[in-house]
Structure 1
Amino acid sequence: MAKHLQETKQPVAVVAGASSGIGRATARALADSGFAVVGTSREAAQAAPLEGVTLLDLDVTREVSAEAFIAEVIARFGRVDVLVNNAGVGLAGAAEESSISQIRAVFETNFFGTIRMTNAVLPHMRAQSGDRIINVSSILGMIPAPYMAVYAATKHAVEGYSESVDHEVREHGIRVLLVEPGYTSTSFEANTAWSDSPLPVYAGQRAIIRDVLTEAMRNADDATIVAKVIVAAATDAKPRLRYPAGATASRASTLRRLVPWRAFDKQIRKLNRLAA
C-alpha cells in the first residue's frame, strides 16, 4: 500500500512535543539521521512546518488521544521503532504554594502522559524487535530541586518508572531509556508556571530562586545538544539506561554518584542560595 512505503525503507520515530524546543530539534535530528519522523503538537495545524517531519495532533493528558494518535501512525507508516516522550510542562515555587489541582495537572502531562504513550505503543513494539522508548527526564530527575519540587517529583517518577519498565520489556526486544538534559535554551523555562497560591513566608526565597533560574539560563545548553544525545540513545548498538545531556547534567550525574551525601546536600543549598 502506498501509505506503507516507508515501512520497509526507513525506521519510524515518534517525537511527542515536537512543535518547539528540544522536541523540534530532536525531530529534525532524527530526520537527518534517516528516520521517518512523526512529531506531535496539541495544535499541529498551528505549528511551524518542519521538513521531513509529519506533524499530527496529540494531547498526552487524554488516553483516547494517545491511542488514536498511535493508531494513526501505524495506519500511515506500519510501525513505530522509536518513541521519544518529550511532552512536558514546568512549575516553580515552594511545594506548599501549589494547589493539588495544579500539581495534578503537571503530573498529567509529565508523568501520566509518558505512561499513556508507552502503553499505547508497547503492543505494536512487541510485534517487532529492537525498538526503543526514550523518556526525556531532566537533571532535576536525579538531584533535589528546591522551589521546583513538583516538577522534580514528576521527573523522579519518570526515572523510577522508566528503569523498572525497561526490565519488564527487555525480553521483548524493547529498551526504555532516559535522556537527562540540564538547563536548555528553549521557551520551556520562559513558559514555566509559578505556584498558584503564593505564601508571604516564601516570598524572599522565591525571588532569589527567580534570579538563580535566570542565571542558569544564561549558560543553558542549546536544544541541538540534547537532540544529538537523543539520536545516540535511539541508534547506539549497545544503549545505556541513562544519557545525561550536556556538561552540567554530566557533572551532576557524576557528583550524585560519587560525592558524600552531606557534601552534596551542602552544595545544593549553596547553588540555590539557601541558608546553611
Structure 2
Amino acid sequence: MVFITGVSSGIGAATARLLGAAGYRVFGGARDPERIQAAPGVELVACDVRDEISVRTAVDQIIDRAGRIDVLVNNAGVSLAGPIEATSVEEAQALFDTNVFGALRTIRSVLPDMRARRSGLIVNVSSVLGFLPAPFMGLYAASKHAIEGLSETLDHEVRNLGIRVVLLEPSFTRTNLDLGSKRTAAVIADYADALARSHRAVVQQIATAPRPETVAEKIAAIIKGPHRLREPADRRARLLRTLRRYAPVKGVDSSLRKTFGL
C-alpha cells in the first residue's frame, strides 16, 4: 500500500496514476480532493501537509481502510523564486512549512505503524537543488538541503527497525512547480536584470526537461528495486550529481552561472 502526498498535479499525479495502473493500492493526499479526478486504482484523502491534524487524520483513515502503509512518498511541495535579500521571513517560513515541516509531519505520522510491523519505505522527493543550489532559488534550495539532511539522518535511525529512506532527486521537470514558481513579493531593482535572464534560462531548460511520468517511473523502480539512499531521477540529475562530486569547484561554478544566464 502506497501513500503519496501532493497528488493534485505534476509528479504526484503521475506517480499515483502509474502505481495504480500497476496494481498497487494507492492513497493520494490532496488539500482539496473534491477538485481533482482520481485515477483508476487511486483513493483520494484530504491531507494538507501544513496541518498536523489533517495529516494525522489522513494517515489514520488510510490505516483503517487498508490496514497498513508500506510506502510513503513525500511529494507535496511549493517553490519560491527571487533574490534572498527580497525574501521575507514570512515567505521563507511558509515555504519550509510545506517542504520541510510537511514532510516531517507525514513521517512522524506513518512511522508508528511502520515500526510496529518492522517494515516500510519512505521516499522523500528532493531535487538537484538539494545538492547544487541555483541563483534566485535560495530558499527553495535551502528547503531541499534540509530534506537531504533529514533523510540521511532518518535512514540511520530507522534502518535497524526494518525501515529505509530514499532521497529522490529530479532535475527540472515539466510541471507547474518548476514553470510557475511563486515570486517574492518584494522587488529590488538591482537584481531585476539578472533575475529576468535567469528566469528565461529556466523556461528554456523546462522546455526540454523530462515529463513527470519519467520521475514516476523512477519511483516505481525504487519501490521494487534494491535500496540506495540517493536516487537521481533522470540522466541530467545523474550528470549533475557526478559533476558536483568530481568536477573542479571553479568549473562547476562557471557552468552553473552560464546555465542560468549570469
Are 1:244 and 2:232 matched, yes or no? yes
- Give the 3-state SS of the residue equivalent to 1:61 in structure 2: coil
Q: Tell me, in whole angstroms, the C-alpha distance in 1 between the residues paired with 2:99 and 2:238.
A: 22
Q: Of residues 83, 107, 124 in structure 1, which corresponds to 2:96?
A: 107
The equivalent residue for 2:118 is 129
Cα deviation per residue 1:87-120 (whole Å; 9 max; x = unaligned)? Answer: 0001111111111101110000001100000000
- Give the 3-state SS of the residue equivalent to 1:269 in structure 2: helix
The equivalent residue for 1:204 is 193
1:245-264 to 2 correspondence within 5 Å? 245-264=233-252
Q: Match for 1:142: what amino acid?
A: F
Are 1:265 and 2:253 matched, yes or no? yes
Question: CA shift at 1:130, angstroms?
Answer: 3.4
Q: Of residues 169, 184, 199 in structure 1, which corresponds to 2:173?
A: 184
Maintained 8 Å contact 1:182/1:249: yes
Q: Tell me, in whole angstroms, the C-alpha distance in 1 between the residues paired with 2:224 and 2:20.
A: 13
TM-score scaled by length of structure 2: 0.97
The equivalent residue for 1:5 is none
The equivalent residue for 1:22 is 11
- Give the 3-state SS of the residue equivalent to 2:117 in structure 1: coil
The equivalent residue for 1:60 is 49
Maintained 8 Å contact 2:179/2:203: no
Maintained 8 Å contact 2:59/2:110: yes
Q: Tell me, in whole angstroms, the C-alpha distance in 2 between the residues paired with 1:21 and 1:110.
A: 15
The equivalent residue for 1:84 is 73
Q: Tell me, in whole angstroms, the C-alpha distance in 2 between the residues paired with 1:187 and 1:268.
A: 23
- Gaps (5+ residues) in structure 2? none
Q: Give me the identity figure in percent.
A: 42
Q: Match for 2:239: what amino acid?
A: R
Q: Of residues 141, 157, 167 in structure 1, which corresponds to 2:156?
A: 167
Q: Tell me, in whole angstroms, the C-alpha distance in 1 between the residues paired with 2:187 and 2:92.
A: 14
CA RMSD of aligned residues (A): 1.0
Question: CA shift at 1:190, angstroms?
Answer: 3.2
Q: Tell me, in whole angstroms, the C-alpha distance in 2 between the residues paired with 1:31 and 1:240.
A: 24
TM-score scaled by length of structure 1: 0.93
Q: Match for 1:59: what amino acid?
A: D
Number of aligned positions between the proteins: 262
- Gaps (5+ residues) in structure 1? 1-11
Are 1:32 and 2:21 matched, yes or no? yes
Q: Match for 2:237: what amino acid?
A: A
